[in-house]
Structure 1
Amino acid sequence: MRLERGVAQDAFALLAGIDRSYYGKLERGERQPSIAVLLKCATAFAESGAALMAAIERELVAVRRAPNA
């Protein structure tokens, strides 16, 4: 969602009220967010928590289906 909207990682982290280094780790899959952090991200995207979770689920399914290179 962040990339689709053309928002820089550090700008989005600031908008969501999340430490930028922590947010980078979330995007790289190095950290697992709490529900509170997911809701902060959803609010920053102007989406519901359910919409954000659905987008995450679609992305995970796509990654699982991608052929190994």
Structure 2
Amino acid sequence: MTSRPPGPHPTTLPALRVELLGGLRVTVGGRPSAPPASPGARLLLAHLTMHPEQTHAREVLGAKTRGRGPA
């Protein structure tokens, strides 16, 4: 038997889907969502989507939002 700690139960977040081929498309919970407006934020989202299991240095991510740094 597994016991749960007291307090609120964890909530389930809606699924996030990011499509990169054929243009950037984002859906949240199956509904279309506007992708980030700035090119740097779009690049950052694409990078994080392509490398989900990797840890990322803050400096590298910051450079990506400014359109600099390796892909």
TM (norm. structure 1) is: 0.25
Max Rg structure: 2
Higher strand share: 2
Higher helix share: 1
